[in-house]
Amino acid sequence: MNRLKTCASVLAAGLLTVSLPAMAHHSFAMFDQTKTTDRKGVTVVQFQWANPHVYVVVKSGTETFALECNSPSNMKQAGWKFNTLKAGDKIDISYFPLRNGKPGGALKVATLGGGKKLDAW
């Protein structure tokens, strides 16, 4: 998500600002921001709404891997709820892959069953 835009509109609404940890977002450095991998119709295995990061585990073909998202606080601003996803849901995902080539990454956008798109970063 464009944090600055979200920040401005959220500030206008009198709600919370988007935030980043003090040091550069260390975990994000592990993901390749220059690439986006798209997978359609992956199955949600687990949706963990927790700190420091929400994450979703998905099964795509024979692969099962975890995708890191933003914090629950920031995810809420982007329209997610703690029960937005549950095991068995089929979603389309767009994510930044891990730089080391292992399965997994940082979820960029999830498209839910009904077509709704949610930013996860």
Partner 1 sequence: MNFKEIASLALCSALALGGANQVAMAASPASDQATKAAGVQAEPNITGVWERDPFPFDDDGDETKLVPPPGGGPDLKEPYASEWKALQEKRQAMLKAGTPLVDASTQCLPEGTPGIMEAIYPIQILQNPGQITVLAELFMQTRRIYMNAPFPEPDDLAPSYYGFSSAHWEGDTLVVQTRGVQQSVKFYDIPHSDAMTVTEHYQLIGPDKLRLDVSVEDPEYLQKPYTFRWEYKRNPDYRIPEYVCDHRLDVINPDGTVSFGGAK
Q: Applying CB under 8 A, which residues contact partner 1?
A: 2-4, 7, 11, 14-33, 46, 48, 50-53, 55, 57, 65-66, 68, 71-73, 98-100, 102, 104
Is residue 77 within 8 A of residue 16, CB to CB? The reply is yes
Query: What is the nearest approach in angstroms of partner 1 to the Cβ of residue 100?
Result: 7
Residue 21: both structure tokens together: 């940890």
Which residue lies nearer to partner 1 by CB, 8 or 116?
A: 8
SS3 at position 103 = coil
Which residue lies nearer to partner 1 by CB, 48 or 60?
A: 48
How many Cβ atoms sit within 10 Å of the Cβ of residue 99? 14
Which residue lies nearer to partner 1 by CB, 32 or 89?
A: 32
Query: What is the nearest approach in angstroms of partner 1 to the Cβ of residue 118?
Result: 19
Is residue 90 within 8 A of residue 83, CB to CB? The reply is no
Is residue 120 within 8 A of residue 109, CB to CB? The reply is yes
